[in-house]
Structure 1
Amino acid sequence: MIIKKVAIGNQYEAFIEDRLQNRTNIIFSDDNNKGKTILMQSIVFSIGYDSIWPVGFEPKNYYFYSKISFNEIDYEFLRHRNSLLILGNNQTYIFNSISEFKYFISKELIEIPKIPKDGQLKISDLSLFYELFFLGQDKRNTSNIIVKANHNKVDFLNMLFSLQGISSIQFDEGLDVEELKKKKVELEEKIKIERKKIQILKKNPQIATYVSNLANNEDFEKTKIKLKDLHNSISEFKKQRNREENRRTKLFYLLRELNSLNRNLKEGKVKCANCKSSNIVFSNEDFEFDVSNKFIRDNIISSIKENIKLKDEIIEEYNNLISKEQTEINKVLETPIPDFSNYVLFESEIRNSTAIDDSVSRLINELNEVNNKINLINNGIELNKEKQSEFEEGIVAELARLYKAVDSNGTMTIKGLFTKSNETFSGSEEQEFYFCKIVALNNILKHNFPIIIDSFREGELSTTKEEKMIEEFVKLNKQVILTSTLKREEYSADKYSVFTNVNPLDYSQFQDSKLLQPTYVEEFKKVIQNFPITI
């Protein structure tokens, strides 16, 4: 993934940055408020990030463009509010929501990992995923992720595990359950011992479910849990399928309207009754398309057909999942009935098990109380724990190595990807931590995304440490985009010109809080002219 061009604008003002290169880029200025943060947030906002904008900037008034190469194929993105357009592979794609865009980008461009959420494996939110390689200037907190929404640092770790092929469900933090788990193990062991004494369970488990309270409860609990999970799963799949079908139906109606308009335009000329203009505009919530232009209209129709095709695939996938779960329900509901003669054969075993059965029932009641307390924590299954620990240890080791490379005399102790809530770093320590974290993740995961850091030297970072950081960025031999605000004497010394393989971009000439200018508007319109919209 290589970012080639970024543009922000509307019909009144705009800005275009097309000087980014596939190496370390440092965007700098001699003062703050030169628009560097707007540019950096615009890059990721154009591809679905929930950006944090500077105070006073109104993103809803602008269009955000980016040209990005994926596997040496260029794609152009245009976002306005929550709608996105994509040009790529001689095709135009239109998405009315970030969730629709996420499904497309994960299917066509980027392998976005799935994480356990709300009892299911779901594709990671784009804002969570982009924190793998993007660091904004505001709302940084070393003890958690930056854009939280409905996610937390456990989700971030699960995302990393998934990328590494060691995915699992983890327990959320917040409640110490070690004692409860210990008590649970003790009770389960007692039940296990007592259970072995019940002879009918060994000799005929099928009869046991009819005559033993323990066996009946065990069998019923397994069935109940299985059925509940299956029903919840089917219900959720149906909701998702119906939502997709609703969107698909709307696309069919829209296609019919555009085809009808296409016929009308061939048979005669359609004009506005008020102004007599023959320009016809179709609009969704965020974009307007000049459909009186045949090329644009055909592009929109083609895009809608592709979206319908994509919806068909999604709906078919949900139907298959529902069918699979329904088959499982039928299997669970099949209950074999034991032959009556078996009751006579095992009469003594049935009688001998009664007293033990009562004892086990009391132990089970205690166990249920413990489980009720544990259920305050998110239920989950811990898998690949050993591999996960090794993976985290590898990241921490790389963090420590990078920290010593930048600050050989530093005393900061790095124990993980996140600090404890009461040990949040600040100042230059925070910046060193984030540098180590984002580069360590790149080195361990070996991902193909650029590294983007806004204000990478914040917190009075010393010149020596900054230079070492730049050297480490250059060593990555990939696209890195950084921003920096220099002191007057640093700016006068042309600080970044001494580095090899660094592309310095000076923003000092821009007026304070005036990155967007009317002079860029015509060029901006040319940049987005291939999109079937009017602004």
Structure 2
Amino acid sequence: MITVKRVFIGNGDESYIQDGFTDGLNIISSYDNHVGKTIVMQAIMYALGANALFPPTFLYRQYFFIIDLEVGDKPLSILRNKDTFVVKDDASIETFEGKGAFDKYWNEEIGHLPSIIKDSSSILAGLALYTQMAFVSQTERNSSKVLGGYFKRDDFIEMVYSVVGLGARQIDSRTEVELKRRKAVLKTRKGELSKQAGMLRKPGTSLAMTSPTADREETTRLIQKLESIKNSIGELQKKRSAAYTRRLKNEALLSELRSLNRDIKVGSVVCLRCGSEEIGYKIPDSDFVFDITTDDMRRQILRTVQRRIDEYGSEIDRLDKDVRNLQRQFNAAAESRELTLEDIFAAREGYRDVEEVDRELSEVVDEIEEINEELKDFARVDKELREDRSSFMDSVLDTMNYVRRTINDDSGIAEYEGLFTTATNVFMGSEATEYYLARVYALAKHVQFQLPIIIDSFRAEELSSAREDRVLPLFRSLPNQVIFSATLKGEEAGKYRGDASINNIDFTGYEVGKLLSDKSNEAFAAKLAEFSIRIA
């Protein structure tokens, strides 16, 4: 399991540090709103790679966010500033420029992230989507969709299936889509040819008397296919060139860093402007500088840069293979039919004559039959996958409905029918609160994700004390760390203090709208120094 130990928020002017988390059930509470509970909750998820959902008055891009974690029994610290991540463990410090690079690191070093099929391609479901299984924000709650603009709710469902081994087929999925597209084209062509053949068989008409030329429609389709492949090759070549450029820049940086030999026996490397012997490395578009004065830190940065070079090399190799594969497809398609300049001109300008209609019609019918046989095989696999998916989702929904019945004993309440509602039937008020509690709990039970469960304002919209008392035992029973936040009423003074099963982090007395101050600046600067970072 992944558990949060400490949270650090700050910059050079103000900061805040929250510790005292336990592995079990934690509730951050206060009697006032706007005292910083949401900022702490969002800081945790933001540092874990989630989308930013901070209150609009909190200018999060001006701050650094650090979380100390335990991943299993391994300590790990993650720093995020904008979309730059720095990860520190006992042995190394690594930097990642962009959420995609951090997603890849997480997938390889911390925990597996599933792949999903989106727009007919296999992509990694990044932390911005993955964390939504475990994280519920106080704002932007909508039971009909996921947070963010790129992924959709179907992507979330596909991600859940993928985690439990029921992901959509990848290469075969694209093949099936292409077969269905080809079958649709052939059916249209069959209709056209049948009509032409019928007309040509009328008395006084003979196929033998027609002039055989290249069929304009088939030529048009071939040329379109060749142009599509050519465009794809061009896009891949652009990506490959960009990867080459990035690798060259990092190789140049590596050479410069290696040239800073600080073990010389006479003299030392100094800054020509100020005379300081301290040197630093600044990541592009970031607000901080790594202090690489020491050999140890410079070695850490060198390892990070070398890893980046290796990753760009792997990307170039992959793109090379993809380009060669598309080039083979282009050549095979081009050789499948001899094209003249007249063919291309006719195809593009819209001219045609009839060419062996009966022969082509026979070939079209044969190809349709072959496609039907292939699609039968896909249907068999799809049927098994659909059955397994249906069984799994039934189990998840059974658990969601069990949680809802446990929380809300109203016998007339409708049951959940999916992980999301329709856009016209969005849950509101306490129903929305119950829905998110049920969904997170059910996914934790059946998907068994390792993330901490973070629910901001878990009693939102007047979830009654009686229903709250039914919720807490459910989440205490999970192996995940659980962090809730709650705003208490005046009569609920000391509500959680007497319960040994709850770790209450009390924000009572915190100033409204002023979580950060200069009181923790020294400790915050010391934490940044662990990453060998100075604020630029």
Q: TM-score range by the shorter chain?
A: 0.7 to 0.9
SS at match of 1:306: helix
Query: Which residue pairs with 2:68 in the alignment?
Result: 67
Query: Which residue pairs with 2:260 in the alignment?
Result: 261
Kept in 2, the 8 Å contact 1:12–1:521? The answer is yes
Structure 1 pair 404–193 and aligned structure 2 pair: CA distance change class (3 A)? farther
Q: Are 1:475 and 2:480 counterparts? A: no
Deviation at 1:401, TM superposition (A): 1.3
Query: Which residue pairs with 1:250 in the alignment?
Result: 249
Q: Which ranges of structure 1 fall in alignment gaps of 5 or more residues?
A: 171-180, 199-209, 338-349, 365-380
SS at match of 2:302: helix
Deviation at 1:267, TM superposition (A): 5.6
Q: Distance in 2 between matches of 1:498 and 1:289?
A: 46
Query: Which residue pairs with 1:530 in the alignment?
Result: 530
Counterpart residue type for residue 128 of structure 1 = L
SS at match of 1:471: helix
Query: Which residue pairs with 2:496 in the alignment?
Result: 496
SS at match of 2:66: strand
Q: Distance in 2 between matches of 1:239 and 1:151?
A: 25
Kept in 1, the 8 Å contact 2:27–2:485? The answer is yes
Query: Which residue pairs with 2:308 in the alignment?
Result: 307
Task: Give the alignment partner of residue 485 of structure 1, picking from 484, 487, 493.
Answer: 487
Q: Distance in 2 between matches of 1:265 and 1:60?
A: 41
Structure 1 pair 190–482 and aligned structure 2 pair: CA distance change class (3 A)? same
Query: Which residue pairs with 1:30 in the alignment?
Result: 31
Q: Are 1:416 and 2:435 counterparts? A: no
Deviation at 1:309, TM superposition (A): 2.2
Q: Distance in 2 between matches of 1:393 and 1:229?
A: 42
TM-score by length of 1: 0.78
Q: Deviations over 1:100-127 (max 9, x none)?
A: 2222222222211122233321112321
Query: Which residue pairs with 2:176 in the alignment?
Result: none
Q: Deviations over 1:318-341 (max 9, x none)?
A: 33343344445455555499xxxx
Task: Give the alignment partner of residue 466 of structure 1, picking from 463, 468, 483.
Answer: 468
Structure 1 pair 244–190 and aligned structure 2 pair: CA distance change class (3 A)? closer
Counterpart residue type for residue 75 of structure 2 = D
Query: Which residue pairs with 1:127 in the alignment?
Result: 128
Deviation at 1:262, TM superposition (A): 3.1
Query: Which residue pairs with 1:16 in the alignment?
Result: 17
Structure 1 pair 308–404 and aligned structure 2 pair: CA distance change class (3 A)? same
SS at match of 1:277: coil
Deviation at 1:358, TM superposition (A): 13
Deviation at 1:413, TM superposition (A): 3.7
Q: How does 1:150-299 map to 2 (within 5 A)?
A: 150-168=150-168, 231=230, 234-262=233-261, 268-284=267-283, 285-286=285-286, 287-299=288-300
Kept in 1, the 8 Å contact 2:528–2:534? The answer is no
Query: Which residue pairs with 1:521 in the alignment?
Result: 521
Kept in 2, the 8 Å contact 1:300–1:532? The answer is no
SS at match of 1:398: helix
Structure 1 pair 355–507 and aligned structure 2 pair: CA distance change class (3 A)? closer
Kept in 2, the 8 Å contact 1:67–1:75? The answer is yes
Q: Deviations over 1:242-275 (max 9, x none)?
A: 3332222221121122223336977633444444
Q: Distance in 2 between matches of 1:230 and 1:301?
A: 39
Moved more, 28-37 or 284-293: 284-293
Structure 1 pair 266–324 and aligned structure 2 pair: CA distance change class (3 A)? farther
Q: Distance in 1 between matches of 2:219 and 2:395?
A: 43
Q: How does 1:340-351 map to 2 (within 5 A)?
A: none
Q: Distance in 1 between matches of 2:26 and 2:143?
A: 25
Q: Distance in 2 between matches of 1:86 and 1:266?
A: 34
Query: Which residue pairs with 1:438 in the alignment?
Result: 440
Structure 1 pair 416–192 and aligned structure 2 pair: CA distance change class (3 A)? farther
Deviation at 1:503, TM superposition (A): 1.3
Counterpart residue type for residue 471 of structure 1 = P
Deviation at 1:289, TM superposition (A): 1.8
Deviation at 1:317, TM superposition (A): 2.9
Kept in 1, the 8 Å contact 2:190–2:361? The answer is no
Counterpart residue type for residue 510 of structure 2 = F
Structure 1 pair 405–250 and aligned structure 2 pair: CA distance change class (3 A)? same
Q: Distance in 2 between matches of 1:399 and 1:499?
A: 26
Structure 1 pair 69–332 and aligned structure 2 pair: CA distance change class (3 A)? farther
Q: Deviations over 1:318-377 (max 9, x none)?
A: 33343344445455555499xxxxxxxxxxxx99947977999xxx9xxxxxxxxxxxxx
Structure 1 pair 225–131 and aligned structure 2 pair: CA distance change class (3 A)? farther
Counterpart residue type for residue 292 of structure 1 = T
Q: Distance in 2 between matches of 1:219 and 1:477?
A: 62
Q: Distance in 1 between matches of 2:194 and 2:398?
A: 47
Kept in 2, the 8 Å contact 1:213–1:357? The answer is no
Q: Distance in 1 between matches of 2:5 and 2:100?
A: 25
Kept in 1, the 8 Å contact 2:93–2:300? The answer is yes
Structure 1 pair 125–351 and aligned structure 2 pair: CA distance change class (3 A)? closer
Counterpart residue type for residue 529 of structure 1 = A
Deviation at 1:218, TM superposition (A): 8.0
Q: Percent identity?
A: 29
SS at match of 2:520: helix
Deviation at 1:314, TM superposition (A): 2.9
Structure 1 pair 166–127 and aligned structure 2 pair: CA distance change class (3 A)? same
SS at match of 1:161: helix
Q: How does 1:92-103 map to 2 (within 5 A)?
A: 92-103=93-104
Q: Distance in 1 between matches of 2:308 and 2:153?
A: 34
Kept in 1, the 8 Å contact 2:77–2:87? The answer is yes
Q: Distance in 2 between matches of 1:27 and 1:352?
A: 76
Counterpart residue type for residue 244 of structure 1 = A
SS at match of 1:57: coil
Kept in 2, the 8 Å contact 1:428–1:461? The answer is yes
Kept in 1, the 8 Å contact 2:87–2:93? The answer is yes
Q: Which ranges of structure 2 fall in alignment gaps of 5 or more residues?
A: 171-180, 199-210, 339-354, 369-380
Query: Which residue pairs with 2:512 in the alignment?
Result: 512
**Number of matched residues?**
475
Structure 1 pair 299–211 and aligned structure 2 pair: CA distance change class (3 A)? same
